[in-house]
Amino acid sequence: MSANAKTSIHQTDQALGRLAKRKAKENRFRYAGIAAVVIAMVMLGWLVVSLVGTGYTAFFQHYLTITVTLSESDLDPHGARDADQLRKANYRKIIQQALYSRFPDVTDRRGKRSLFHTVSASGATNQVRQMVYQDPDLVGRKITITVPTSDDVDQLLKGHIDRDAPEDLRKVSDQQIEWVDQMVASGDLTLEFNWRFFTSADSRDPELAGIAGAVVGSIMALGVAFMLSVPVGVGAAVYLEEFAPHNRLTDFIEININNLAAVPSIVFGLLGLAVFLNFFGLPRSAPLVGGMVLGLMTLPTIIIATRSALRAVSPSIIDGALSLGASHTQAVFHHKVPLAASGILTGSIIGMAQALGETAPLLMIGMVAFVTEIPTSVMEPASALPVQIFLWSDSAERAWAERTSAAIIVLLLVLITMNAIAIFLRSRLERRW
Amino acid sequence: MEAAQTNYIGSIGLKPSMGEVIEMMASAPATETTKTKFECRDVEVFYSDKRALHGINMDVPDSGVTALIGPSGCGKSTFLRVFNRMNDTIPNARVAGQILMDGQDIYSKDIDPVLLRARVGMVFQKPNPFPKSIYDNVAYGPRIHGLALRKNDLDNIVEKSLVRAGLWNEVKDRLKEPGTGLSGGQQQRLVIARAIAVSPEVILMDEPASALDPIATAKLEELIDELKEKYCILIVTHSMAQAARVSQKTAFFHLGDLVEYDDTQTIFTNPKDQRTQDYITGRTG
Amino acid sequence: MQHFLTPEIMTCAFLIVGVVTAFLYGRGLATSRAQLTADSAGAHSLPSYHGYFSAWTVALLAIGVIALWVTFSGALPKFMFPTMMLGAIALGFIIINRLLTPTFRARNHVERFVGDALMICSGVAVLTTFGIVLSLVFESLRFFDQVPILDFLTGLNWSPQTALREDQIGQSGSFGAVPIFAGTFMITAVAIFIAGPIGLLIAVYLSEYANKRTRATVKPLVEILAGIPTIVYGFFALLTVGPAIRNFAEGFGLSVPTQSAIAAGSVMGVMIIPFISSLSDDVINAVPQTLRDGSLALGATKSETMTKVIFPAALPGIIGAFLLAVSRAIGETMIVVMAAGRAANLTGNPFEAVTTVTVQIVSLLTGDQEFDSAKTLAAFALGLVLFVFTLVLNVIALLIVRKYRERYE
């Protein structure tokens, strides 16, 4: 038998040697494929780990509990409880005094200043001002309040500032570390959930900055984008798929939409700048304009998704409806569009998710303003979540990097949720008929 | 036999009808098979949990043409793909039992399907030349297997293969033209040349003429007849006339079972099983 | 209270109330009239169509009034408009009353209107393209009035700072865009250099080697990379990849800035991996199975089948996929804004900071600016170049891919 087998030219020793080499090559090729998959996964993992690792600490913040004396002589020397006076009063001094009385052995000016720098100056003063303004009866009393610490102290306690580094190379002095350690030991300095991050707008101070303004701006812009792109996109898709005659004009529209889908997003921003701002004179930085630009940008996505959803519905549905005496319009709107609804909805959500993450066109129409108020209408200057991330990313301090990453985590969670809803809807609504 | 004969009375005159073939065969002595190329022992094929072949036992001689016939879906093509382990490429397909080639189990761990397929060539239902030149199509196998060290050797192999496949005279002036530009029959012979170029011992043919017109089919059958001198050929065909014309042994499959396996002459003149008889007389299938 | 009763608010309220009551009135009228004459065939259209028709009639008249308002807003006293709106609505009701007989073909009128409205919707997409082309071309022409187009396209020096004082030297800035084009090209090349092989190998692995379950898990995971906003990639490059590359280079005694072509390009490469992998996956799967079988049956290994049969057959489609990825990379903004730098270096070294078309558009248009200055207009000229270039790439890619599909269909 083996003698017979040896007659094949494929079983000579040379042939078997060649075969071994080919097998090795095959394995190398296969491993290269696995390596490519692994590299992509590692990059994804690295991205997630580095952002989450940098950002998760921003969801917590160190707060100092201090007792402040709201002396009448400092705040309201005339005793009139005049609203204007109460707003203008020197609350900074109140906070300083509270701190100095806690560490009475600090007497020199430099020491005092550095002691005051352990709390968030504007955060603490604004907090007391707000309390007194709302309840003037507090004047003359002693109250205990919890104020955010300064970002440096916060970073120190989160372990992001190296205590062992030489003093002139770190942002907190030995003296400050000593005070902070005492406050921690006495239980006055605690780590708490950073609600402010979700309820405040932007600020110059990282410990006070939040994403609420940007989130509201994003919601407004997305609302405008949704109201523009979904009705128009679905209408255009229904027209092209069901009503349009096949002629040069509709061919042109088709090519047009396909190319529009590939236009870089920044070009839509240029369109918004030239047309909406300079030609129509709409306000800069407004979510209305941002939303319109994002809406035009997502329009092709929604048209393409709707058309494929409509195409997936069997054309026999239309024939069935027509045979019952329905008009073409009735057949389309009573039967075909409802059956395509899940696909349309999925496409719309994915389009909106794309618009939510988009930054470049918003930069063009000036939605990069530093806005410390939560916007209340679509005509007011506002920021948006990705733009907020861009603005914060410019600052090199660890406290800002932390907040930038935290904002990214929030953005990614929202996007994951939107995509999950889209996938869920697709599987849930698909082919019920 | 009457029924079968009337079935083929309308076929063209180039090839002898089945009735004529059987008459010729009846007068010629049956081919003596000397050696066994494949021994199949309880071969079963599963697609996921579905059993497509139920324990096939069969010996394939190492020369001549063995035809596999039977109605659609009877498992004949599945069985053919067992011999070069092409079922390995289908996800969820599983083969059980033993197929011994020259006494060696081709499903054992130390058999490399790549080496096996070099020894067992295959021709498919639809001609599938690569989108390359005629030359490159034929040279593909020798190149990957490293059979020719010099350009000259390769030219020789290509020419010899094309000559043997009966295509050389038609294409010798346009070897650089794409193989996809040939006619269907030429493409199928090109694919055979491509298989021959690797110097296989066995050639499997899966309904090779089903996509061809009658003239091309006749040429192909002529070619098969010549090739059987050098190679062991297994051919799946749905045309009983073709099986009768080209093969020496015939196996009849029905619903995943090997119903009857014998000399072609016996199968067509004196089938033992009722199902075989029904099929070849055109009552079923 | 008077605060709320401005003429604007009143007009709007009248409009909404008018349209809604017109719908109800039209529907009711049709129902009752149909019942009165319910002798033979009945009404032509359903009552609700009469309602829609009525609402549309009133709305059309109201839109007419609003158009008048916009045109003559200065010339007429404000209180005129709510009155005119009321008049228009009343007129609408009179027309409805006249027209809505049971034989009135309300449905046909409504459907024609719906058809027109849908056509206008698809017109918006065309209008957007026209808007883009017109605004880019118009502003670019103004730019080329100030800076000759040849200087722009062939100049080697880019420093668009405009002068603070009129008499300052070089006040017009210098607008030679070659360093920008070179930077864009280099970052795109780095990105494709990374994404091309990785994306292609992923496509090959998933289509030829991976089993169903691996494919079902890996494919969506890879596609997540395409769903991550570019701002996130940008920050990742700035925060992690840039410093990592700098530290790595320091290990070899090289000094590489945190912002470099290699940092921006490699992160962008990661972003476009899924574009290449899923487009290539499509074209590889479009190659007929018979070719695979033919090659495997000759004793070829999977890798030989892939590189010698499938890859050449799929080549046009893969080229199309690469072109689409290139166009994507060229138009990408946030990653390069954050990770590539802003200085217009004309360099061949990917370890230096370079700038790109999109970065320059952003930096020219953010911050304080005058709209008519050459600096601002230059952004539109760059935008025009970007638009034309990506458009051409896309058209070529789509043509190639379509031709390729036809071959195997």
Query: pLDDT per residue over C200-237, tens digit each?
Result: 999 999 998 988 888 889 998 998 999 899 999 999 99
Selection from B281, B201, B273 nearest residue B240 by Cα: B281
What's the CA gap between A305 and B215, in Å, rounded? 50
Locate A122 and state its tokens. 């504007």
Three-state DSSP class for C101?
A: coil
Question: Euclidean distance between the first and final Cα of chain A, in Å?
Answer: 63
Angle between helices A109-116 and A174-185 (to 10 degrees): 50
Q: Closest partner residue to A10 among B102, B103, B119, by Cβ?
A: B119
Q: Which of B177-181, B215-219, C55-59 has the lowest mean pLDDT?
A: C55-59
Cβ contact C298–B117 (<8 Å)? yes
Q: Closest partner residue to C298 among B126, B131, B195, by Cβ?
A: B195
**Does residue A171 contact residue A152 with C-beta atoms inside 8 Å?**
yes
On whether residue B159 sits in a domain, the answer given is: no
Q: How confident is the model at residue C107 (pLDDT cuts 50, 70, 90)?
A: confident
On whether residue C226 sits in a domain, the answer given is: yes
- Backbone φ and ψ for A396, nearest 5 degrees, come out as -85, -15
Q: How far is B229 from chain A (nearest CA, A)?
A: 16
Query: pLDDT per residue over C285-296, tens digit each?
Result: 888 889 999 999
- B/e letters for A231-261, b = 16+ CB within 10 Å, e = fewer, are ebbbbbbbbbbbbbeeeeebeebbebbebbb
- B/e letters for C100-120, b = 16+ CB within 10 Å, e = fewer, are bebebebbebbbeebbeebbe
The DSSP line for C237-294 is IIIIIHHHHHHHHHHTT----SS-HHHHHHHHHHHHHHHHHHHHHHHHHHS-HHHHHH
Contact residues for A391 (Cβ-Cβ < 8 A; gap 6+) = A202, A368, A370, A383
On whether residue C370 sits in a domain, the answer given is: yes
What's the CA gap between B222 and B232, in Å, rounded? 16
**Does residue A246 contact residue C313 with C-beta atoms inside 8 Å?**
no
Instruction: For residue C267, give Cα distances in angstroms to A36, A276, C362.
Output: 15, 33, 19
Query: pLDDT per residue over C344-387, tens digit each?
Result: 777 778 888 888 999 989 888 886 666 667 788 888 999 999 99
Domain finish residue from C90, C106, C123: C123
Query: pLDDT per residue over B119-141, tens digit each?
Result: 999 999 889 999 889 999 999 99
What's the CA gap between B18 and B12, in Å, rounded? 12
Angle between helices B134-145 and B151-164 (to 10 degrees): 120
Chain B CB contacts of C300 under 8 Å are 114, 117, 140-141, 144
Q: What is residue B15's predicted lDDT score, i.e. its pLDDT?
A: 56
On whether residue B253 sits in a domain, the answer given is: yes
Residue B174 has pLDDT above 80, yes or no: yes
Nearest residue in chain C measured CA to CA from B116: C299
Contact residues for C205 (Cβ-Cβ < 8 A; gap 6+) = A30, A33, A34, A36, A37
Cβ contact A22–B118 (<8 Å)? no
Chain A CB contacts of B232 under 8 Å are none
Residue C237 sits in a domain whose CATH number is 1.10.3720.10
Q: How far is C36 from chain A (nearest CA, A)?
A: 25
Q: Could you tell me what percent of chain B has a pLDDT over 70?
A: 87
What's the CA gap between B214 and B216, in Å, rounded? 6
Please state, rounded to an integer, the average pLDDT across all residues of chain C: 83
Residue B226 sits in a domain whose CATH number is 3.40.50.300
On whether residue B164 sits in a domain, the answer given is: no
Domain boundaries, chain A: 2-56, 59-201, 212-429
Contact residues for C386 (Cβ-Cβ < 8 A; gap 6+) = A264, A266, A267, C330, C331, C357, C358, C361
Cβ contact A363–C383 (<8 Å)? no
* Residue C49 vs residue C315, higher pLDDT: C315
**A31, A51, A265, A266: which to substitute to probe chain C, counting the most C Cβ within 10 Å?**
A266
* Torsion-angle region of C239 (φ positive above 0: left; ψ -120 to 50: alpha; else: beta): alpha
Q: Is C38 exposed, middle or buried (0-12, 13-18, 19+ CB in 10 A)?
A: exposed
What's the CA gap between C295 and A410, in Å, rounded? 50
Selection from C364, C229, C356 nearest residue A384 by Cα: C229
Over residues B87-99, mean pLDDT: 86
What's the CA gap between C160 and C204, in Å, rounded? 46
What's the CA gap between B264 and B242, in Å, rounded? 11
Cα C27 to the center of its chain, rounded Å: 42
Chain C CB contacts of A264 under 8 Å are 330-333, 358, 386-387, 390
What's the CA gap between C222 and C202, in Å, rounded? 9
Cβ contact C292–B117 (<8 Å)? no
| Domain shared by C188 and C94, yes or no | no
**Does residue A353 contact residue A419 with C-beta atoms inside 8 Å?**
yes
Selection from C211, C237, C185, C180 nearest residue C356 by Cα: C180
Cβ contact C125–A303 (<8 Å)? yes
What's the CA gap between C208 and C223, in Å, rounded? 18
CATH class for the region spanning A212-429: mainly alpha
Nearest residue in chain A measured CA to CA from B114: A19
Which segments in chain A show pLDDT lower than 70? 1-7, 429-433
What is the rounded radius of gyration, in angstroms, for the C-alpha atoms of chain C?
A: 31
**Does residue C314 contact residue C286 with C-beta atoms inside 8 Å?**
yes
Residue B8 has pLDDT above 50, yes or no: no
Q: What is residue C402's predicted lDDT score, i.e. its pLDDT?
A: 78
Q: How far is A78 from chain C (nearest CA, A)?
A: 38
Question: Euclidean distance between the first and final Cα of chain C, in Å?
Answer: 70
Q: What is residue C190's predicted lDDT score, i.e. its pLDDT?
A: 94
**C209, C298, C315, C406: which to substitute to probe chain B, counting the most B Cβ within 10 Å?**
C298
Q: Closest partner residue to C126 among A253, A266, A401, by Cβ?
A: A253
Selection from C138, C369, C132, C340 nearest residue A366 by Cα: C369
| Domain shared by C218 and C361, yes or no | yes
Amino acid at A368: V
Q: Which domain holds residue C54?
A: 7-123
Q: What is residue B6's predicted lDDT score, i.e. its pLDDT?
A: 40
The DSSP line for A260-302 is HTTS-HHHHHHHIIIIIIIIT-PPTT-HHHHHHHHHHHHHHHH
Q: What share of chain C is helix, strand, coil (3-state, %, to 5)?
A: 75, 0, 25
- B/e letters for A77-106, b = 16+ CB within 10 Å, e = fewer, are eeeeeeeeebeebebeebbbebbbebbeeb
Q: How far is B195 from chain A (nearest CA, A)?
A: 14
Q: Which domain holds residue B26?
A: 2-128+200-280
Q: Is B176 exposed, middle or buried (0-12, 13-18, 19+ CB in 10 A)?
A: exposed
Q: What is residue C233's predicted lDDT score, i.e. its pLDDT?
A: 95
Q: Closest partner residue to C121 among A25, A51, A235, by Cβ?
A: A235
Q: Which helix (H) or strand (E) holds A386?
A: helix A385-393
Q: How far is A179 from chain C (nearest CA, A)?
A: 32
Q: Closest partner residue to B121 among C298, C301, C312, by Cβ?
A: C298
**Residues paired with residue A65 on neighbouring β-strands, in sequence order:** A146
**Does residue A360 contact residue A269 with C-beta atoms inside 8 Å?**
yes
**Residues paired with residue A20 on neighbouring β-strands, in sequence order:** none
What's the CA gap between A393 and C231, in Å, rounded? 10
Chain C CB contacts of B191 under 8 Å are 294
Kindly provide the ipTM of the predicted complex, given to two decimals. Answer: 0.90
Q: Closest partner residue to A357 among C120, C229, C338, by Cβ?
A: C229
Domain count, chain C: 2
Instruction: For residue A249, give Cα distances in angstroms to C23, C118, C122, C123, C126.
Output: 35, 15, 11, 10, 10
Largest Cα separation within chain A, whole Å, is: 119
Q: What is residue C153's predicted lDDT score, i.e. its pLDDT?
A: 86
Locate A397 and state its tokens. 């301090």
Over residues C155-170, mean pLDDT: 63
